[in-house]
Every structure is written in structure tokens, then in C-alpha cells.
Amino acid sequence: MTAQSKTTRQIQTGVVIYGSVVVLGTIVFQMLIVAMGWLAYDISRSPIPLGIIGLIQFFPSLLLFLVFGRIADIYERRKIVILARLFTASGSALLFVLLSFHQVSLMALYFTALLLGLANTVEGPAAAVLLSDIVGVQDLARSVARISSLRQLAKVAGPALGGLLYTIHGDGIFCFGIATLLSALSVLLLGWLRIPEAENINPRNGVGESGIFSGLRYVWRQEILFSAMSLDLVAVFFGSVTILLPIFAKEVFHTDAFGLGILRSAPALGSLLMASHLSRNSIGERAGRKLICAVAIFGIATCVFAFSRKLPFALLTLMVIGAANSVSVITRQTLVQVLTPLSFRGRVVAVSQVFTTAANQLGDLESGFATAYLGLFPTVFLGGATSLLVAVAWFYLFPKLRSLGRITPSLLDQNDEVSHSDLYFSLRGSRI
């Protein structure tokens, strides 16, 4: 066997293991979120604890994203992901034990949410860059789309499985027990993963900025990256309806935990179909305009969902929301990988992750409190309308994003210069 064929086989094996780990991790997370959301609303009968769970998940990302982005550029990424999966397994095992003794409470749910937030913060940068370590940059865009398809498939199966397991026992103990076992399995798979030889990840190779804030400075100076990330942040912050689905399931559609799982699966099914399409046919030309249009469609579909009174119509609307969001996610992830030098890609991925986490978790908090004071349907409609307005605003505010064509590795060379306002971050020679 030649060295080249051996490397090719190693890459293929690595992609299979990486994809399996992504699927297992996503299924576990979706199962836990469904079970925890249903349990929290069942205990409190209020939307506010649902928002608090989202806020608590955001804390580790807010406080530690720069640190773990830096760590992902220095230490072995596979071991970092293993550590994150152990945090997830600990959270699900805790709830399993507490439910076994009938001692579960909102505080236990909040603590588990903190562990999940910590796991996501630790894993995010390392797992994202790990894919480029395995496949290299040339096949990265298509690989991102394929992994995204797998992730969306898991997001379809995970909530439905979580809801089904919750319904079987009635208190979620089966759901948390299976989640613990699947987390342990993903740790075993990561132990078998071997990375092909690649560029040295030493952050001093080829890049002058090695401090933990260099990723943040880099994103600020790159108009395309900053505008794509901020567009997603603001649109999802106002337009996300995911945290409110337990209320829709109980109060509007009068269904059980399995019905909630189906509702949570619908956006993922739409995302899966779109990601599958994009894995065969890339975004192509006019990527910036397609990204902005996808966010606009996301907002419109959210407004329509506010008027849903029948479950089949709601599922269809949620699928459209998921498909539109998939275009945004894949485009943003590809831009981060293509426009960032390998030597500090982990730190830039960490910045991207905190934007995404802020959008989702702080958006959950906003939705929970807005629903408590404005009501369910006005909150959803106003959120969707705001997302639509944000898409229109970004079209005019960021001309480089609007004019972005095909996403290729050559974009990195074209975007070396500062794109906007280096006034506040003129610290290129600093080491923080």
C-alpha cells in the first residue's frame, strides 16, 4: 500500500468516525433539550424557566470562549472534544440519578444546563477545526455540507427519540439514561480517531497575532466575517421560536412529549433537506445575497408560524425555518474556515461559536420573558418581523457581504487588508 493510499484511507476512516461522533453528540444534545424543556415547563408552568435554561447555557461561552479558542490552537483537539463529551455525560447522568430517587428540581435542571453550556464551549472550536485537520482545506466546503447533513439528520432523530423515551416512562429517566450511554460511546469513538499529518498548529507559524484576543480582532477587521456572524446573531436572537415549542405543544396543539419531539424535529428536517442539496450543489455564485435572502425567508416563515393552529401546518412552517437557517449556518461555517489562517482558526471559530450561542441562548431568554409579558403569539410574530427587517438592513449596511460571490480559498488572499474600523483594535503587535 502506497503512502498516498494509506493517507486517503486514513482520511476516509477519520471522516466516518468524526461523522459518527457528530451524530451521537447531536442526538444526545437534542434528547436532553427536549426532556429538560418539557420537565421544566411541567414543573413550573411558566415560560421563564425555559428562558433561564437558555441563559445559563450561554454563561460558559461568554466567559470562556476566547480561552478555549486559544486552547484549540495549541493542544490536541481530539482530547479537547473528549473532555467536552465527559461534561455532557456527567449532566445526563446527574439527572438520571436524581430522577431515580424522585429528587429532580429546577435547580438540578439549571446545573445540567450549565454543564451542557460548558461542554459546547469546550467542544465547539476544537471540533470545528478538527474537521479541517482530517480532510484539508481543498475539500472543506463539501465536507462541511456533508457533516451538516449528518448533524441535521441527528437533529431530526434526536428530539423525536427524546420525546418518545420521555413518554415511555413519563418522567424522562429513560431519556437521560440513554443519553449518558450515547455520550460514553462517542468518547470511545474519539479514542479510535487518528488524524492525518497536517500543518503544525503552533500559533506562531505564519501569523503575528497569537494572543487570545486575536480571533476577536480578526473577525472585527473582516467585514464579510463580521457581517455574516452578526446577521445570524441578531436575526436568531429575535426570531428563534425553539424554546417556546413546549408551550405550543401543550397549550396550542395539545400534544405530549413525543409531539414536542416531532415539533423540534421539523426545523432539523428542513435543514437536512437543504444541507443534502448543498452537499451536492454548493452555494455557488452570489453567496452573500443568498445568505441575506435566507435570513429574510427565516423571518417571514417565523411570522407565519405565529398564526399556526394546526400541527401539520406548523410542521411545514418549521421545516421552512430550518431550511433557511441551514443556508445561513453552512455559509457562515464555510466562510470561517476559508477566510481564517489555520494557525489561529480555533480562536476565530470560538468567536463564531459565541455569536451563535448568544443568538440561541440569549434569544431563548428574550423569548421566555417576552412571552410572559406580551403573550405567545405576539412574541413570535414580532420576532419574525424583526428578523426580516434585520436582513433588509444588513443588505444595505454591508456592501462586501452583499457582493460576495463564490466562496473559495482565494478569498483569504483577497481579504488580508483591514475591512472596516481598525480604530479600536490597533493592537496587532500585542500579546495578550
Q: What is the mean pLDDT of residues 194-218?
A: 56
Q: What is the pLDDT of residue 5?
A: 53
Mutual orientation of helices 345-357 and 106-135 as an angle, nearest 10°? 140
Question: Is 338 within a domain?
Answer: yes
Cell, residue 262:
416531532
Number of Cβ within 10 Å of residue 373's Cβ equals: 9
Question: Closest by alpha carbon to 408, among 295, 294, 287, 324?
Answer: 287
Q: What is the pLDDT of residue 417?
A: 43
pLDDT tens-digit profile of 388-402?
999 999 999 999 888
Most confidently predicted of 142-151, 233-242, 335-344:
233-242
Burial of 425 (0-12, 13-18, 19+ CB in 10 A): middle
Measured between its terminal Cα atoms, the distance across the chain in Å is: 47
Cell, residue 168:
415511555
pLDDT tens-digit profile of 310-349?
999 999 999 999 999 888 888 887 887 777 776 667 778 7
Instruction: Please report, for the domain that includes residue 17, its CATH number.
Output: 1.20.1250.20
Question: Is 88 within a domain?
Answer: yes
Question: Closest by alpha carbon to 155, among 322, 352, 334?
Answer: 322
Quick one: CA torsion of 336, 338, 343, 348, rounded to 10 degrees?
-10
Question: Is 47 within a domain?
Answer: yes
Cell, residue 40:
421544566
- Print the domain residue range for 19: 7-193+211-414
Q: Which residues contact 311 (CB under 8 A, 6 or more apart)?
A: 253, 255, 259, 263
Round to whole Å and give the CA distance between 344 and 346. Answer: 5
- On whether the CB atoms of residues 221 and 343 are closer than 8 A, the answer is no
Q: What is the pLDDT of residue 196?
A: 62
Q: What is the mean pLDDT of residues 227-232?
A: 89
Round to whole Å and give the CA distance between 310 and 387. Answer: 24
The pLDDT-based confidence of 354 (bands split at 50, 70, 90) is: confident
Residue 186 CB-half CA count within 13 A: 32
Question: Is 2 within a domain?
Answer: no
Q: What is the pLDDT of residue 7?
A: 67
Round to whole Å and give the CA distance between 67 and 126. Answer: 12
State yes or no: pLDDT of 55 exceeds 90. no
Q: What is the pLDDT of residue 424?
A: 30
Question: Is 290 within a domain?
Answer: yes
State yes or no: pLDDT of 89 exceeds 50. yes
Most confidently predicted of 191-200, 225-234, 353-362:
225-234
Question: Is 60 within a domain?
Answer: yes
- Name the percent of the chain lying above pLDDT 70: 84
**Cα distances (angstroms) measured from residue 174 to each of 117, 148, 157, 345, 403:** 22, 28, 16, 39, 50
Question: Is 203 within a domain?
Answer: no
- Name the percent of the chain lying above pLDDT 90: 32
State yes or no: pLDDT of 139 exceeds 70. no
Number of domains in the chain: 1
Higher pLDDT, 309 or 411: 309
Question: Is 38 within a domain?
Answer: yes
The pLDDT-based confidence of 212 (bands split at 50, 70, 90) is: low
Cell, residue 192:
479510535
| Stretch among 44-58, 342-356, 406-420 having the lowest mean pLDDT | 406-420
* Whether the model pTM is above 0.85: no
